[in-house]
Amino acid sequence: MEIIHISAECYPVAKAGGLGDVVGALPKYQNALGHVAKVVLPMYRTKFLYENQFEVVHKGGFGMGNYGYEYTVIREKTNLLGFDLYLVDIYGLLDREKIYGYDDDIERFTAFQIAVTDWISKWKHRPDVVHLHDHQTALIPFMMQNCFPFMHLATIHTVLTIHNAQYQGWMDWSKSNYIPDWDKWKWGLLEWNKMINPLASGIRCAAKVTTVSPGYLSELKYDANGLENLFEYEKGKCSGILNGIDDEVWNPSKDEFIQEQYGVEDANEGKAKNKKLLCEQFDLDITKPLIVFIGRLVGEKAADLLPAAISDSINHNEGSMNFLILGSGDPSVEYQLEQMRGAFMGYYNSQIGYNEKLSHQIYAGADFLLMPSRVEPCGLNQMYAMRYGTIPIVRNTGGLKDTVKDFGEENGYGICFNNASVWDITYSVHRAVELFKKSIRVEEIRKQIMELDFSWENSAGKYIEVYSS
Ligand code: ADP
Ligand code: GLC
């Protein structure tokens, strides 16, 4: 099968979070199964672009609203990533350093989708599946079926994977002229709640819809940021497929980002060495359990609860643990997490910003990883943590519920709690501190979590089943 993934992120080309990890891994594993998976991405001005060799494969043009744009498609020459990578350049819109966060993101990603659809419409052959990821690419099924210039693509099968239904790409109806000459009778396929809603449109128009864990799919029927009824109505075409771990990137025995590599057999010594380096770097105490948080500092991740939960935990447990935070996001949370350094010196530290290498070092050196997420469609952090022998402390939601079982249950290995509240977090931290005192139990759990199977092989096959159906 020939599968074209279209996405806003793909590691290591451009990554803001887990979407990048998934799109950087899944096509590789689909190719290993004997299929031909390719990735199409906007040509942002990231480091990857300047460090690799590309060739131009297509040039075209399109209109959007009152403007005309030219676009260029380039291809990475060496199959460096294990799949063909195509980047789409649109001068003035996509030629920026960051992926998101600009005032004209709607224009940027609508233009990207038009350019990609226009390019595919010029191919002499048809791919078997066009696989879209999140709202930034979710208008493509509508365009392939209902825009007059592209209607000859209507028979191509489309799959939409929802990595996060919180973000839907809402557009005012005044922007409906951005979408190329479309059949106005079909307006209902674009609208949700008086807006153009690209995610809702993708759910309606794609042949199949997947979410990144089965647990998240069942939650969406009663909590989907306004799309609950749509998920209920379209449930027949939806399925949940858990993300996997890219073993080439996330493997403590060959990870070049960490100073001391280790496997299951020498995990205790390996983690101790990495922890020592981390504690030296961040002025923490190696004898205490090291509890970390890595991620976007936003409401979904319950990052706003971290300052109070950390202060209360240190105060109520007489500083019997250390905390380390790596993240960026909400400026007020960033500010609080920076300010706390002075108050809890020696017990707490934080690095505000995005740092891929440091994230690997933290997964390797930490004892526990905290994820109190309010919403977590899958969550990769807890899987990476476990792969590196770090015990997850998670809220029972979405993919966290599907991947972590409390150590109090039979064969359990993590610490789970129900509410995104300061009290639930501090109580769970207390449980972690008590568990840490039982070193033999910690060693057993460490071995168990490092051996859990979160391989992509399994999930990549499930996507092929969806395509085949
Ligand atoms: P989400 O995609 O919702 O942010 P995931 O758990 O699926 O959550 O994936 C997050 C990914 O982003 C992981 O690879 C994690 O290590 C990485 N990450 C998040 N924040 C940072 C950061 N500040 N520095 C480095 N890596 C980060
Ligand atoms: C989204 C979700 C996260 C998921 C990731 C990859 O960013 O928030 O839970 O792991 O996508 O699918």
Q: What is the pLDDT of residues 56-72, one digit of tens each?
A: 999 999 999 999 999 99
Q: Report the chain's mean pLDDT, rounded to a whole number.
A: 97
Q: What is the pLDDT of residues 213-226, one digit of tens each?
A: 999 999 999 999 99
Answer whether 296 contacts ligand 1 (Cβ < 6 A).
yes
Q: Spell out the domains of the chain, with CATH numbers in brackets.
A: 2-244+457-468 (3.40.50.2000), 267-453 (3.40.50.2000)
CB 392 within 8 Å of CB 384: no
CB 228 within 8 Å of CB 221: yes
Answer whether 165 contacts ligand 1 (Cβ < 6 A).
no
pTM: 0.97
Banded pLDDT at 319 (limits 50, 70, 90): confident
* Whole-number pLDDT of residue 50: 96
Banded pLDDT at 139 (limits 50, 70, 90): very high
Nearest CA to ligand 2 atom 1: 163
Answer whether 328 contacts ligand 1 (Cβ < 6 A).
yes
User: What are 461-465's contacts with CB under 8 Å, separation 24+?
Assistant: 461/33, 462/239, 462/241, 463/26, 463/30, 463/131, 463/159, 463/210, 463/241, 464/1, 464/30, 464/33, 464/35
Q: What is the pLDDT of residues 267-282, one digit of tens each?
A: 999 999 999 999 999 9
Tell whether the model's pLDDT for residue 317 goes beyond 90: no
Nearest CA to ligand 1 atom 2: 18
> What percent of the chain has pLDDT above 70?
100
* Whole-number pLDDT of residue 318: 83
To 5 degrees, how large is the angle CA 328–CA 330–CA 332? 115
Note the residue count of the chain.
469
CB 390 within 8 Å of CB 31: no
CB 242 within 8 Å of CB 211: no
Distance 298 CA to ligand 1 centre (A): 12
Handedness of CA 23, 24, 26, 30 (dihedral sign): positive
How many Å separate Cα 212 from the centre of its chain?
Answer: 9
369 DSSP β-pair partners: 292, 392
Q: Which ligand 1 atom sits closest to the C-alpha of 371?
A: 6
Q: Which ligand 1 atom sits closest to the C-alpha of 16?
A: 12
Closest-approaching ligand to the CA atom of 360: 1
Best substitution site from 294, 352, 386 to test ligand 1's pocket, by max atoms within 8 Å of Cβ? 294
Nearest CA to ligand 1 atom 4: 17
Nearest CA to ligand 1 atom 9: 18
Answer whether 356 contacts ligand 1 (Cβ < 6 A).
yes
Answer whether 24 contacts ligand 2 (Cβ < 6 A).
no
Banded pLDDT at 36 (limits 50, 70, 90): very high
Token representation of residue 422: 């300061």
* Whole-number pLDDT of residue 117: 98
Q: What is the pLDDT of residues 354-375, one digit of tens each?
A: 999 999 999 999 999 999 999 9
**Any alpha helices (H) in 122-239, and if so which ranges?**
140-146, 198-205, 214-220, 228-233
Distance 17 CA to ligand 1 centre (A): 4
